[in-house]
Amino acid sequence: MSLVKKKPRGPYISAGGVTDTGKRMFEMNNTGTLPVLLALAAILLTSILFVILKFCRNSKRVPAQTVPEDVVLLHHCGQGPHAPSLSPFILKLETFLRVTQTPYQIIRDYKMGPKGKVPWIEYSGTNMCDSQLCMEYLKIKLNLDLDDHLSVKEKAISTAFQRMVDEHTYWVMVHWRWDFDREKICFKQANWGSLALTVSAYLQRRAAWTQGVGRHNKEELLEIVRKDFSALSDFLAKDHLAEATNSSH
């Protein structure tokens, strides 16, 4: 019986003997250093992807334009293939401007607003971000009231539905677009490049996961959005909204 103690075979032992790289990796894993390094690498990769995406957006900016002071400058990230934009919040804000007959000009410069979001507006020397806040700001500045025909209860219900669509239904759409829709047809038709699609998909999926909706499977999402749309359909069928009267909701 041999008294020579054999060395344990670890992942750093190859057919030709022990490799320095494999040995270091094995030792780091045993000491807990490897998971930390992997986490740092993931953070670094995310930062690099964010910088690349920002560079791609900045490279498409157009020169500043001079417009009258009473014109709203609407900044957003480009036109869709079959709609004014692929973003529901841009559509929401632009629809508000059109319904209220507010003079506006679109600036497709891919420039983020004061809060790092699009859409955003410039009006009378003020920069305002977030579609809903932009609408509330313009209501005050331009003395607009599209809801004077609604009762207090109807306004409250309308506000609750608006929050549901903006903060819940929207995220179902985000997760569906960037995770389940593998072909990304609408973005390809809008001439999005492969790099922009890859970076955006990663960031949007991570955002949906953080928000919570991104943790559901396809069947659960379909049931969630079905209930949202069913409730919205029942609400829009009410008599007070069946009339041909404009509303900010």
User: Model confidence over 23-45: pLDDT tens digits?
Assistant: 555 455 555 566 666 666 666 66
Q: How far is CA 204 from CA 64, 156, 173, 188, in A?
A: 29, 31, 11, 17
Q: Residue 147 in contact with residue 99, Cβ under 8 Å? A: no
Task: Residue 222: name the closest of 181, 178, 186, 176 by CA.
Answer: 176
Q: Residue 89 in contact with residue 131, Cβ under 8 Å? A: yes
Model pLDDT, residue 99: 92
Q: Domain residues of the chain, as ranges? A: 72-141, 152-242
For 70, the 3-state DSSP assignment is: coil
Higher pLDDT, 185 or 220: 220
Identity of the residue numbered 22: G
Q: Return the CATH architecture of domain 72-141.
A: 3-Layer(aba) Sandwich (3.40)
Tens digit of each residue's pLDDT (9 = 90 or more) over 81-120: 777 888 889 999 999 999 999 999 998 877 888 888 889 9
Name the token pair of 133: 């806040």
The predicted model scores a pTM of 0.67
